[in-house]
Structure 1
């Protein structure tokens, strides 16, 4: 009798033990596992405060937001989860790229966009109409794992979708990034100096209300049919644009990205992303542009470096806009030959 009761008690204990394991597995899975989106699923719940200690602002958004991009039904057709660990990330770089710009992406990967534990670089593209081109892009992504592609056509008039997609990616898939840099694939970033700038002049723990750019003021709205920048009165009725920043270099803090994203998701679409996001929408969230024109390499200093490899004493974070690949490679060679200044804020002011 005692032996039978003993075995009965052992059986009950085993049942209770395995039931506990099942409940614990369900709890852990719901709290820690990442949902990987496909073409038909949502990745709304990606991070909780318990994962890696990074609270996600995405949890403040409605679930349907993940599959909405302004006025479009949306999904990521290619997405790489490069921030999915407990490693703190200082800088997330989101590069607007045209799908056919293979050589420009290669140049960035081999120069300032080289892999680094404190930096993640991704190239943002839209959809293409050619199946052959799409296959080539997928092959490139399999090789480098650095694409984000959205389900909107990659055209000039759709560039605002690409900009807001950059915000969406950073909010949902990289909440641990302390700073977000939006740039283009014909830009040079002086990455060693940028790292010191973020760590020592700003803060390695992040900052708030950051929008560092090169503001443009009192720009007239172009109405001429001969201009590719022509905007009709129906699209924009005012005569002068608000102060805005050209999109080739925009350094954001995550709080500014989140505030702009929420405004962009409910605002009427406007196709010039620089003006819409860093002009119209930035006014709504009361963030001031910080002018970093003095930290852009002058045309004269660029000429001295590229043509003669002369040393320049002025610290810089960026080359010029619309650079040639040969110029980007020359600047990278120059940067690797010289130590980055630890502090540049005093020169910045």
Structure 2
């Protein structure tokens, strides 16, 4: 009986050892696959490598959009290549302005690569018509949003060195240019035009450690228990010197798939402290109200028809003062009108 028990224990230990060895081998193989740079980094996103190893180039590279020597603000809107309607609406609404309060600005769209020849033909035609598309040589994906932002920083660092400020935003955003320019003009006069990273700042954010979750962060990629402070990626403004610093820092910091967290990591490494501003909305806010939007710089999750209405109202009602009573009335009305 004792011999049988000993034999059973030996077999159990041997089986456990074999299983552990197999698991370790498979884990190492999978880790090597993730860690190693791909032969074609344009096609598949890879962790553990820096932006320098992606060799970010441009398929469509517009000229003349930053020609003004006194350019104040460059706005880079990340967009998916098939979002023709969203880009058209922005061009017709908030992205249409080229000068506000005497300050010059320009708006461009950053898109990804596509193998669809018909879609690429349409993009080339759009670029020839408007001259505002920057197409990076990396494919569209959620993970590649980080690369898209780095590409935007690279493009502005090369082409818009004279600009005072750079904004990064998305194509489902409302941006109140008059309010934004006023804020940046005041900042220029009081604090200068350097070391600025302004937006909705997230602090004390913890990495998601549950595999399969959208914002899962592998401990081998980011081992720390707390993220550095970062601006919500849907809309923030940086001074031109910070745009260059962040791009240069990205060449040394391994890329992670969460774009705004990654920019926070680069900012921390570069010694830049993100500054919070209450008029940059932090989360989705699709319920349009004039008095609310009048006092916002950015608003999330806007469909093209919502952008059109918001922009038309802000233009026709420009100068209208909103009393606390007006704001309360609008808020109550929106609750009853919510679908």
TM-score (norm 1): 0.70
Q: Distance in 2 between matches of 1:124 and 1:149?
A: 6
Greater shift in the superposed pair: 83-92 or 280-289: 83-92
Partner of 1:177: helix, strand, or coil? coil
Deviation at 1:203, TM superposition (A): 3.8
1:332 to 298, 303, 311: 311
CA contact (8 A) 2:209 2:217 kept: yes
**1:53-68 equivalence runs, <5 A:** none
Closer/same/farther in 2, CA of residues 264 and 340 from structure 1, 3 Å limit: farther
Which residue in the other structure is 1:258 paired with? Answer: 244
Deviation at 1:248, TM superposition (A): 0.6
Closer/same/farther in 2, CA of residues 188 and 206 from structure 1, 3 Å limit: farther
Say whether 1:317 aligns with 2:303. no
Q: Deviations over 1:288-312 (max 9, x none)?
A: 2111124549989x7462xxx5x45
Q: Distance in 2 between matches of 1:172 and 1:262?
A: 12
Which residue in the other structure is 1:102 paired with? Answer: 84
Unmatched tracts of structure 1, length 5 or more = 1-67, 342-349
Q: Distance in 2 between matches of 1:322 and 1:157?
A: 19
Q: Distance in 2 between matches of 1:183 and 1:84?
A: 18
Greater strand content: 2
Which residue in the other structure is 2:143 paired with? Answer: 157
2:211 to 212, 217, 225: 225
Which residue in the other structure is 1:127 paired with? Answer: 113
CA contact (8 A) 2:71 2:164 kept: yes
Deviation at 1:151, TM superposition (A): 1.1
Deviation at 1:339, TM superposition (A): 3.5
Say whether 1:210 aligns with 2:196. yes
Greater shift in the superposed pair: 205-214 or 167-176: 205-214
RMSD: 2.6
Q: Distance in 2 between matches of 1:149 and 1:266?
A: 23
Partner of 1:248: helix, strand, or coil? strand
Deviation at 1:201, TM superposition (A): 4.8
CA contact (8 A) 1:127 1:152 kept: yes
Closer/same/farther in 2, CA of residues 314 and 116 from structure 1, 3 Å limit: closer
Deviation at 1:107, TM superposition (A): 1.1
Deviation at 1:97, TM superposition (A): 0.5
CA contact (8 A) 1:178 1:254 kept: yes
Deviation at 1:324, TM superposition (A): 2.1
Deviation at 1:132, TM superposition (A): 1.5
Deviation at 1:196, TM superposition (A): 2.3
Q: Distance in 2 between matches of 1:276 and 1:219?
A: 13
Q: Distance in 1 between matches of 2:304 and 2:250?
A: 33
Deviation at 1:108, TM superposition (A): 0.5
Greater shift in the superposed pair: 216-225 or 118-127: 216-225
TM-score (norm 2): 0.72
2:257 to 266, 271, 274: 271
Which residue in the other structure is 2:73 paired with? Answer: 91
